[in-house]
Structure 1
Amino acid sequence: MKVEFNRLFEKLKAEGITQKQFRDSVGIGGTTFKKLRGNESITTETICKVCDYFHCMPDEIMEFIPDTDYIEKQKAKEEVQAQIDQLQAKLKNL
């Protein structure tokens, strides 16, 4: 799964806020801002600061995009968990 912050930059543009004004107002550094631009991982603290600034929810500034094989991975994970549960049950009976 990946996260994109395109909604944040659309919001900045729509409200006429420059990137520098935004960084200064929110109190985030250049490195963190670069991570936002590159859709990289940031802290939940940063997400909270941005949401506080805009008085919005996270889904208004970011979008979660599942991996193309997300459903397949979920099924495989469920199968492995079922196997683990069966083995743990057997272990208890020994």
Structure 2
Amino acid sequence: MQVSYKKLFKLLIDNDLKKTEFAKKIGIGQNTLAKLSKNEYVSMEVLAKICKGLNCKIEDIVEFIDD
């Protein structure tokens, strides 16, 4: 199963937020941001920070894709 963060990046664009600025605002590092950009797995803690920062639900930022 693969993971996709396209919804997250679309949400950032819709809210006129840059990835790096948002990452600093919620307290995630550049390595984590790179993982998100590559659609790699990140911790639940990171996903929770993103949801809190965007005031959204997890299904608004991540999508699981069957192989």
| Short-chain TM bin | over 0.9
Q: Once superposed, which parts of structure 1, at least 4 consecutive aligned residues long, lie more than 3 Å away?
A: none
The structure with the largest alpha-carbon Rg is 1
Gaps of 5+ in 1: 68-94
- TM-score for both structures, normalised by structure 2: 0.95
Q: Show the counterpart of 1:20.
A: 20
Report the Cα offset of residue 43 of structure 1. 0.3
| 1:22-59 superposed Cα distances (whole Å, 9 cap, x missing partner) | 01111000000000000001000000000011111111
Which residue number in structure 2 is paired with residue 48 of structure 1? 48
Whose relative contact order is higher, 1 or 2, with alpha carbons under 8 Å and at least 6 apart? Answer: 2
Report what 2:64 is aligned to: 64
- Root-mean-square deviation (CA, aligned residues, Å) is 0.7
Greater helix fraction, Structure 1 or Structure 2? 1
| Structure 2 unmatched runs, 5+ | none
Q: TM-score, normalised by structure 1?
A: 0.69
1:43-79 deviation digits (Å, cap 9, x = unpaired): 0000000001111111100111112xxxxxxxxxxxx
In 1, Cα distance between the equivalents of 2:9 and 2:30? 15
Q: Give the length in aligned residue pairs.
A: 67
